[in-house]
Amino acid sequence: MSEIAVIGAGAWGTALAIHAARLGHRVVLWARDPLRAEAMDATRDNPRLPGMKLPEQLRVTGDAGEALGAALAILAVPMQPLRAVLGILPGGLPPMLLACKGLETGSLRLPLEVLAEARPDLTAGVLSGPNFAHEVAAGLPAASVVAAADRALCEQAQSLLSGGALRLYASDDALGVQIGGAAKNVLAIAAGIATGAGLGENARAALVTRGLAELSRLVVGLGGKAETASGLSGLGDLLLTATGPSSRNTSLGMALGQGRSLAEILAGRASVTEGVATAPALLARAATAGVELPVCAAVVEVLEGRLDVQSAVKALLGRPVRQE
């Protein structure tokens, strides 16, 4: 069957590669470090997904040129190095799905906006939704959204990747889908802080619900569709990311709520917690559209050390009352 190229051999890229191979596709998985690629291909194992053996039809490579000729490429790298990775990829790549979430610090660009600047030669959409990598790799039921201005790309992605335990829905609101993927990480930190600080389930539910309202306002304020916020890439991803310690962002928030410093938490992590870099960028991007994000603003204050948890909660509760 058609070859799928996955660019980025972290947990999420590897999980997507395993899923595509499980559907019967020949898959090439690119790791930036050639030695790591060689080790993964030999051992059929990725330490970032322990216990998940790579299928035989999945080949790991350190040569990005091997993505040429594939029917579809998936780029699954963290948001901050996205521009640099795009810069080293060869020309002539197939249509691509970006599977990263967040905003680029400094430029405040979303993934497709970074791609439009760095690689205008590429046709691309985004893949987003409530998906933990280890569950997709294990073949547990899941759903996600593929969004692009090009309807044909959405249909191609659905044809190639929807099947088995993963169901793909299509959307023409790529902007709204990207905002949902960015905002949910910040809101998950807020939910984790509430849990870690022992504020109770009422507080966490209120934060998540009001956070969803912020997400929806931002989607509309930047030109997306309100209904996208209530879909898989908005409410769905927020529910997954904000409700358990398996989420890197929620667990970071829990540690902050327990009184640990951000520097200490990050020093003990090998994986990227996207919400940390995304939070101030999201707040700044919202300001350009005149959209107020009180919950996200409180997260930024805590992350940057300007407020402690109790002061942030007091500030949120002390805001003027209003209609929901």
Catalytic residues: 184
Sheet containing 27-30: which strands, arranged edge to edge? 58-61, 27-30, 4-7, 72-75, 96-98, 124-128, 142-147, 166-171
d(CA 208, CA 180): 13
Paired tokens of 139: 């073949």
Residue with tokens 């667990």: 251
**CA–CA–CA angle 166, 191, 217 (5° rounding):** 75
Instruction: Find the helix or strand (DSSP H, E) in which 58 lies.
Output: strand 58-61
Backbone angles phi, psi at 165, to 5 degrees: -95, 0
- Token digits of residue 37: 């690629």
Spatial CA neighbour of 17 closest among 42, 53, 50: 53
Q: With contact defined as beta carbons under 8 Å apart, do 146 and 171 qualify?
A: yes
Number of other residues whose CB lies within 10 A of the CB of residue 277: 19
